[in-house]
Amino acid sequence: MTKVILELKDISKSYGALRATHKLNLSVNKGDVHALIGPNGAGKTTLIKQIYGSEQPDSGQILLNGELINNTSPSVRVRKGIGRSFQISNVLLGFTVLQNALVAELARKGEAFRFFEPAFSNPSLLSGAHDILQGVGLLHQAEKLAAEISHGERRLLELALAIATNPKLLLLDEPMAGAGAEESRHITSIIKSLKSQHATLLIEHDMDAVFKLADRITVLVEGETIASGTPDEISNNSAVRKAYLGDGD
Amino acid sequence: MQALKRSLEIVKSSPTLFILLLGFGLFPIYTSITDLPFWNDIAMRIMLLGMAALGLNLILGFGGMVSFGHAAFIGIGAYSVGISQFYGIDNGWLHILFALLFCAVVGLAIGFLALRTKGIYFIMITLAFAQMLYFFFVSLEVFGGDDGMGVDRAEFLIIDLWDPLRLYYLIWMALFAVCLLLLLIINSRFGVILQGIKDNESRIEAMGLSALRFKIIAYVLSAAVCGLAGALFANWQEYVSPDIMHWSRSGELMIVIILGGLSYIAGPLIGAIVFFLLEEFLPELLFFIAPNYSENWMIIFGPMLIAVVLFTKGGLMAIFHQIYLRLTRRQGTT
Amino acid sequence: MTITLLLEQVFNGIQSGVTLFLVAAGLTLILGIMDLVFLAHGAQVMIGAYAATGFTLLTGNFYLGIFLAIPLTFASGYLLEYLIIRHLYKRDHMEQVLATFGLILFFNELIRIGFGPAALFSNLPPSLSGFVYILPETPYPAFRLIVIFVGLALAISIYILVAKTRMGAMVRAGAANPDMTAALGVNIHMLRRFIFSVGASLAGVAGMMLAPLTVVEPGMGEPLLILSLVVIIIGGIGSVRGAFIAAVLVGLVDTIGRVFLPEMLRAFMDQSAADGAGPALASMMIYILMAVILVFKPTGLFPPKG
């Protein structure tokens, strides 16, 4: 039995004359990885932003677990169960890797509004933070500043922080961007191993990873869906091949 | 036991701060031996400026909010004393309560409006609100307008302040309390999130925390600390005028913080000490070089500020820290 | 309250508005394109006023004084950018505040050493000190009218420069997106230095025009700096058009408020109290105006768009 976590109904958004999203319908089920692909400028990141709440759609509905979340701020949506990783690593660079995880753990438990309680010495917080890092294999770098670890490791931390809040819906905006081949495989395997726990919406340019991970693929061109289906259906779709994948490939 | 352990942890987390506090605590003994009571007065001014700068630095150094209008809160604190006395309330504790209360309320209102903006807009809107309050007090002819109003040293129930030394230790205790409070807050969960917001606000939001709430609370706290400094300042100066909320005073607060080093808790206090020492000694130094120009010490002070920005990263505390590291490393190897 | 008085005050408001615009025009670009909090722009006003007054006293000719002073203000801006300011672009706002605050202290003290702490008075030549009838029976000082014309002429020139020329296109691109300009291959260093020097000259001209109207003293530019910051925020950082509209708005509100608020207050309180509180309340009004605008439009009235 599948459970619909995210449902988009007739989402439209434009910036002046530029149409970023046009009458878009899409749903993501629990346990599925739904990949969004399309050429640059197709409106993938803009769509993620609208789901996350940093941009508002001009019209249409965004439903999370059946609840309309259109007019809420990003932090409220995160508390309602959205986790997001960013295209460009968005971690606390001046904090250590462990402190990044600790802050995420604090936020998840809703125990951040305490003025006198020391932040970093609570055993249950520490063990939670360790688990977060363990999950992505970053524990060995725990004491390093986030600014000092490698780019690939920062992508892992980014992913860890997105998952740390136990989201119902995970928005991944090019999680492998800039990571090496080995690290990409590692990230792919993490996403795959965790996918049963939540619904995942994935943007990724690495087609190998997309076809390995995705249960469904939606192809966006100029803000519109030109095709949507299983990976097999998409790779056999002639319109997609023509518009996007390129025939000779 | 737990409390004691925690206090020790806090003292250990910033030894510089507690050495300075100890120094201020013992300073009157030195001035009475050397018979230089004039220096007590300077020390009080340093402590008051340092206190206000510590308050501002909670949001500036640890929250990344560059407020260019915190002198307004010093002014509100000082006027709380003056206006209370005007209406016949002489209890010093009540004055301080009013100062904290008014600053918190005004801080909440300004914070709520100003914290929607970012970057240069935030700097400018805080400046605008401060100017608004400045002209508000200039317009209040009842309380002296431009010329200000006289203030008597308040009675703090059993302690009256006829002896300047009592005022000295009142200020010292207040400074001590402010330091403890700020250290607790900075190391607390709230403080860590606040520093996280300074580092990367969008990540904190992505973790499901509303950055605005943290920022507003920090803003109010820092306003209240400046208000406390202002209330004590009115007692020290025995006079309040809109001049203490002039925009250049807000600039002075920032100078003190950046001079000392804004990412260090002790930075503002170091900055305040250096600021006053320069103000005292630069004219004397100039007198030796060019006797006719000893009053024009700003001609050296200005470029010094520029040099601090251009050649140090993180103010004087950063330099001390470097020296300390180098010294301890040398000891370690030999 | 007569029509004559009102008209006179409107002219005064426009005159102070265009003066304010000359200070704000350069500063809005400095803030917008260079993302630099530059507090020493008021010192440029002071330098302009002292240069013009100094050269006038030296040569005995008002026009020659101004003619010599303009290149000097340009040079001072150029030199300042080259020596100090270009090292500040990459620094954060707080450090910029500190360094440019240091510059204010330095320039004020330099002027104090050079010209003494007392105020200088600049006398207008007889040809400029007459009156012009803007309406029958409404005389208006000729020099103030000239200030308005010069200010408007400069505003139009700046508008043409920014809106119609290649240099202006770069400036606009820079205001909307500072990183893009560098990527487009524009020589950002020269662009910055040019804007900075022109901005300094415009502020200097504002100082020259103010000199005969007010006193010339150390620190004279600071009230103007604070007001022009308000203008820039209301207009939208980086927008020259916004700065112009906001400058005239602020000039009118300030001038008219100063005259008519005390009169209105007299209805509620005795005359001396009203006269004391009026100007301060008028000054407050500008900041209230700014706060209200920022609450509804957090990036000002005309934020530059890419």
Is the Cβ pair C230, B124 closer than 8 Å?
yes
Q: Which domain holds residue B295?
A: 2-333
Q: Across all residues in chain B, what is the average pLDDT?
A: 88
CATH for B240:
1.10.3470
CATH for A149:
3.40.50.300
A55 and B CB contact within 8 Å? no
pLDDT attached to residue C306: 46
What is the least distance, in Å, from the CA of B198 to any CA of chain A?
9
The string of pLDDT tens digits covering residues B130-163 is: 999 999 998 888 888 888 888 888 777 666 667 7
Q: Across all residues in chain C, what is the average pLDDT?
A: 86
pLDDT attached to residue C179: 66
> In this structure, how many other beta carbons lie within 10 angstroms of the beta carbon of residue C272?
10
Q: If we measure between CA atoms, which residue out of B164, B174, B147, B163 comes closest to residue B77?
A: B174
Selected for mutation to probe chain B from A69, A77, A78, A173 (highest B CB count within 10 Å) is: A78
CA distance linking residue C99 with residue C103, whole number of Å? 6
The string of pLDDT tens digits covering residues C242-254 is: 999 999 999 999 8
What is the least distance, in Å, from the CA of B204 to any CA of chain A?
8
pLDDT band at C305 (very low <50, low <70, confident <90, very high): low
Q: Across all residues in chain A, what is the average pLDDT?
A: 86
Between C93, C226, C284, which is nearest B120 by CB? C93
Contact A177, A9 (CB under 8 A): no
- pLDDT above 90 covers a percentage of chain C that reads 35
Between C102, C232, C295, which is nearest B306 by CB? C102
pLDDT attached to residue A246: 54
Angle between helices B189-206 and B164-187 in degrees, nearest 10: 40
> In this structure, how many other beta carbons lie within 10 angstroms of the beta carbon of residue C267?
7
How does DSSP assign C190-224, residue by residue?
HHHHHHHHHHHHHHHHHHHHHTTTS-B-TTTTHHH
Whether residue C159 is contained in a domain is answered as yes
CA-based nearest residue in chain B for residue A103: B193
The string of pLDDT tens digits covering residues C125-184 is: 877 777 887 777 778 888 888 899 999 999 999 888 888 887 777 777 776 666 666 666
Q: Which domain holds residue C205?
A: 7-219
Q: Which domain holds residue A117?
A: 4-245
Q: What is the pTM of this model?
A: 0.89
pLDDT attached to residue C165: 82
The string of pLDDT tens digits covering residues B2-60 is: 666 767 777 777 888 899 999 999 999 898 888 888 889 999 999 999 999 999 999 99
Whether residue C273 is contained in a domain is answered as no
- HSE-CB of B268 using CA atoms within 13 angstroms: 26
The string of pLDDT tens digits covering residues B159-207 is: 666 777 888 999 999 999 999 999 989 988 999 999 999 999 999 999 9
Those chains having 3 or more beta-carbon pairs within 8 angstroms of chain B are: A, C
* Count: domains in chain A: 1
* Count: domains in chain B: 1
Cα C98 to the center of its chain, rounded Å: 21
Higher-confidence residue of B316 and B68: namely B68
What is the least distance, in Å, from the CA of B294 to any CA of chain C?
11
The string of pLDDT tens digits covering residues A92-138 is: 999 999 999 999 998 888 777 777 777 777 888 888 899 999 888 88
Helix (H) or strand (E) holding C279: helix C271-296
Q: If we measure between CA atoms, which residue out of C28, C44, C48 comes closest to residue C36?
A: C28
Written as six digits, the tokens of B227 are: 């208000």
Selected for mutation to probe chain C from B142, B149, B305, B316 (highest C CB count within 10 Å) is: B305
Written as six digits, the tokens of A38 are: 């399309």
